[in-house]
Amino acid sequence: MTIISTRYGIPPTRMREIRVDAHPRIHLGLLSLHEQAPRKNGGIGFALKGPVVEVTLREGSNLTIDDARRTPMTSGELLSLMEVLEHFMCAHGLSRCGLIRIGGGMRTHVGMGSATAIRLAATEALALLNERTLSAADLVNASGRGGTSGIGINAYFKGGLVCDLGRPNDGTPHMPSSLKAPVRAPLALPIVSMPSWPMLLCLPRLIKAKTQQEEVEFFQRTTPLPAAASYEASYIALFDIYAAVSECDYHNFCQGIAKIQKTAWKQAEWAEYGEPLRFLAKALLDAGADCVGMSSLGPMLFCFADTQHLDAIAACADAMDCDVHFTSPVNAGRHVSHA
């Protein structure tokens, strides 16, 4: 699916190409979703080695976006991305542009954080093409992402385990990042390196992913949560998951993953898919997974397991009509290359 802009840049004197490979991320859950909280949202999650999204900018005379992935963004999402990039070019006085091709195995609307990764990669590629050095904060502001969660924007640049403490409560309703533009950067704790524990991603083929509008409606009917729900989620995030990763404690990390699935926010996300997704999660555990979780609003599931059990778990997931990816956490941000 291709969208062509009406903006025309300066005809290139020599063809240049910039490629940004961005990692997916697992988002374990939001943390502070109750009324009158001093800070709102927050979250915890980590970056993965793959499947990456490949954003390639080939210099040309007009700005074009081509989402060549097997499941591309909708025309509305592509138009929204185009508007972001055009505004970015105008705001920073950029004149050089070209064809932005989106490829790779990262999927959209399944819990990998593709919207944030693609927007950041495309804006960074345009800045580099124009030989402009912009800060991470500039790129984040231009992307319009990070308004709800700081996981994706931090994972894009640095990888590792990210725990953000949200931002001061401004009294506005809770909304997903697709509608909540960043006013100020979320306050993140120091990023912790993730051990290279092996894991699997399981993407059910027959369970329909939620649309952007369905995600908005989910926030509207689910928030605010009771204060006790925020306290529980925050405790698990800090004392089970963040602490366990800091000490390379695999057992307690897996226990933390299991516990956070039972928090009020995560239970509401699981309930969006009903019994089929829970049945898949149980099957993965029975096949040898040490823990199973859902990233963001799903429906992608992830599981950690000993290497000797991974093939059996993958076979189980495949038999239950899932696309399977072998991967592991990564402690590095996106990779940029020039041609």
Same domain, yes or no: 145 and 45: yes
Q: How far is CA 230 from CA 29, 38, 224, 297, in A?
A: 11, 12, 10, 18
CB 62 within 8 A of CB 5: yes
Task: Residue 203: give the domain boundaries.
Answer: 199-327
- Phi and psi at 245, nearest 5°, equal -65, -40
Q: Tell whether 154 is covered by a domain.
A: yes
Tell whether 108 and 171 lie within a shared domain: yes
Among 192, 208, 227, the domain boundary falls at 192
Q: 210 and 258 share a domain? A: yes
CA distance 255 to 235: 13
Of 148, 175, 192, the residue at which a domain comes to its end is: 192
pTM of the model: 0.93
Tell me, yes or no, whether 240 and 281 share the same domain: yes
Query: Which value, to the nearest 10 degrees, does the dihedral of the CA atoms of residues 289, 295, 297, 299 take?
Result: -50
Output the domain CATH number for residue 253.
Answer: 3.30.70.890
Q: How confident is the model over 191-250, as pLDDT tens digits?
A: 999 999 999 999 999 999 998 889 999 999 999 999 999 999 999 999 999 999 999 999
- Which CATH number is 156's domain given? 3.30.230.10
How many domains does the chain contain in total? Answer: 2
pLDDT tens column, 82-123? 999 999 999 999 999 999 999 999 999 999 999 999 999 999
Residue 338 resides in a domain: no
Query: Looking at 160, 176, 192, which one is the last position of a domain?
Result: 192
